[in-house]
Structure 1
Amino acid sequence: MIPIEKTINSLDWMTIVLFMALFLLTLGKYLYHNRFVNFIILPFNDKYVLLHKKGQLLNWFHIWLTLFQLANLSLFVFLSLKIFGALPEGPSLMVFFMLMGFLALFQLLKFSVQFLKAYVFNTQELVSELVFSKTSYFNYGSLVLCAANIILIYILKDSKIVIYAAIILILLINGIGIAKLLKNYQKAMFPYFVYFILYLCALEIAPLVIIGSYLKD
């Protein structure tokens, strides 16, 4: 009888990432229950944005949701690249952290451009409210990403349908957010409409086109 060595990993790094992300979400729900209730119905009722849009970018609830979004977005991109055979070579955990660092840097760059533009045109308060509204919808979309990550890791591994479905839902949620944003701020943004369209094309639409082309190739 030849002994066979088995190595059993009870918790891999993806499980830990999901656990930490869900812990942040649970903590936000526990400490800010009323705010969480308003947030969870965001696509159907923008009460959350209307109540908390002023000076809330550095609120802990919003920060935790943004970290929840970053973790799930990074994991979703990692899994998508892996399924489409486009994952860079190297240890999986290192590649994940590289993706997370890139996505965090990209978001910080977008915020910097927005607030620099706000400083130039003296519209800091307006831009702060717009950024809060847009990131709130993006953070809400991370709930879809979290569900997709769980399905891709534990249920339907290597399922491209799950990836496509998640992307469609994310685009739908953020489309609703942009439509409501334009509706609520149409008068305030009208003098800067051209700059808004340029920003939208350069920093919102262009990355999606590049990523889509990369996955297609």
Structure 2
Amino acid sequence: MEPIEKTIVSLDWMTITLFVGLVILALGKYLFHKKFLNFIILPFNDKYILLHNKKGQFSHWFYLLLTLFQLVNFSLFIFLVLTTFDLFPVEGTVINYLLILGFLALFELVKFLLQMFTGFVFNNIGFVGGLIFSKISYLNYSSIIICMANILLIYITTNSKTTIYVALAMIFLINGIGLTKLLKNHQKALFPYFMYFILYLCTLEIAPLVIIGSYLKG
């Protein structure tokens, strides 16, 4: 019987990454307990958006902690998706993850600045800021689902495409609920900016998803 070489991928850095993410979430819950209680029921109740959608919301520590939690987990999820679909080699996994994390952070920052600049051009930064806050809040909520998916993909259902598809479906469902509520609550205010809103959806929301989807399909 000839020995077969088997590459064993260390999960240490993934475990540390998950732990760091959970510590960030726990810190947000501990320091801002009331905000967290409102946030955790976000898809069923808009109380979090209504209470905290005000001036300075983007610089509040609770928002920053949740966004950091989102970046850590979404980056890890993207890494696991790319690994599952064999879109890059196993070697240099930590470096690959850090590159994804850096790219995602830069992408979200540039996107945020472009959106705020658009609000400045339309002389309605407050309104646009409220829309961005609502959208990112639902995205941050989705990261809780992604965190659970990451745990499954790393320790239980390794390389499971089903887990990935279910997680993606949950993300679209949660953010779909958020978009529906946003349109319902701001339909009168959005009407004068309807063409801008369609342009915004096409260029800054749909286009990146189409590009990523085309890449995965190819």
Q: Would the TM-score normalized by the shorter structure come out above 0.5?
A: yes
1:214 counterpart letter in structure 2 = Y
Match of 2:124 in 1: 123
Among the aligned pairs, what percent are the same residue? Answer: 61
Contact 1:88–1:95, Cα closer than 8 Å, also in 2:
no
- Return the letter of the residue paired with 2:213: G
Partner of 1:159: 160
1:204 aligns with 2:209: no
Match of 2:59, SS state, is: coil
Q: SS of the residue aligned with 2:214?
A: helix
Residue 5 (structure 2) aligns with:
none
Match runs of 1:38-77 below 5 Å? 38-55=38-55, 56-77=57-78
Any conservation in 2 of the 1:53–1:132 contact (CA below 8 Å)?
A: yes
2:73–2:150: 8 Å Cα contact kept in structure 1?
yes
Q: Number of residues paired by the alignment?
A: 210
* Secondary structure in 2 matching 1:57: helix
Matched, 1:33 2:33: yes
Q: Which moved more, 1:80-89 or 1:22-31?
A: 80-89
Aligned residue runs from structure 1 range 1-217, under 5 A: 12-55=12-55, 56-87=57-88, 90-217=91-218
**1: CA distance, partners of 2:45 / 2:139:** 15
For residues 133 and 87 of structure 2, the distance between their equivalents in structure 1, rounded to whole angstroms, comes to 33
Cα displacement string for residues 98-126 of structure 1 (whole angstroms, at most 9, x for unaligned residues):
11111111111111111111111111111
Tell me which residue corresponds to 1:3. none
> How big is the shift at 1:189?
1.6
Cα 1:10–1:213 shift into 2, 3 Å: closer
Residue equivalent to 1:5: none
The aligned amino acid for 1:26 is A
Q: TM-score, normalised by structure 2?
A: 0.92
Unaligned runs of 5+ in 1: 1-7
CA distance in 1, matches of 2:169, 2:105: 22
CA contact (8 A) 2:83 2:90 kept: no
CA distance in 2, matches of 1:82, 1:53: 38
Decide which moves more: 101-110 or 152-161. Answer: 101-110
1:135-175 per-residue CA deviation (whole Å, 9 max, x = no partner) reads: 00000000010000000001110000000000000000000
Normalising by the residue count of structure 1, what TM-score does the alignment of the two structures yield?
0.93
Q: Tell me the CA shift for residue 87 of structure 1.
A: 2.2
Could you tell me whether the CA contact under 8 Å between 1:57 and 1:63 is conserved in 2?
yes
Q: CA RMSD in A?
A: 1.6
CA distance in 1, matches of 2:209, 2:117: 23
Q: Distance in 1 between matches of 2:9 and 2:80?
A: 19
Q: CA deviation at 1:88?
A: 5.8
